[in-house]
Amino acid sequence: MSELTLEQVTHVAKLARLELTDAEAERFRQDLSAIVGYVEVLRQVDTSQVPATLGVQPHSHVLRPDEAGQPLGADRVLANAPHRENDAFQIPRILEES
């Protein structure tokens, strides 16, 4: 089993912008080492006779056909808008003026 070093764990934590205590880094070193070890065990499994799949469930096209319909109209589109101005959504200004 491959053991990760504390340096590797702190490097990954730095990349993820995580601040770890020494105790947390040690706990993650142990946990991640166990995960890497399990992946190494899985790599040894012979899958040469297993057909490639996308998953265990049968896949089907779950989207409806894209068909043109009648336009909704501004009143129907804006019916649930919290604020509207004429035929448009009204949103708060997000840019500061200079």
The tokens describing 23, both together, are: 């105790």
Q: d(Cα 9, Cα 29) in Å, to the nearest integer?
A: 6
Residue keyed to tokens 């409806």? 64
Average pLDDT, the chain: 89
Residues 9-36: tens digit of each pLDDT = 999 999 999 999 999 999 999 999 999 9
Long-range CB contacts for residues 8-15, cutoff 8 Å, separation at least 24:
none
The domains of the chain, with CATH numbers, are 6-43 (1.10.20)
pTM greater than the 0.75 cutoff:
no
Tell me how long the chain is.
Answer: 98
User: Which residues have C-beta within 8 Å of that of residue 84, sequence separation ≥ 6?
Assistant: 78, 90
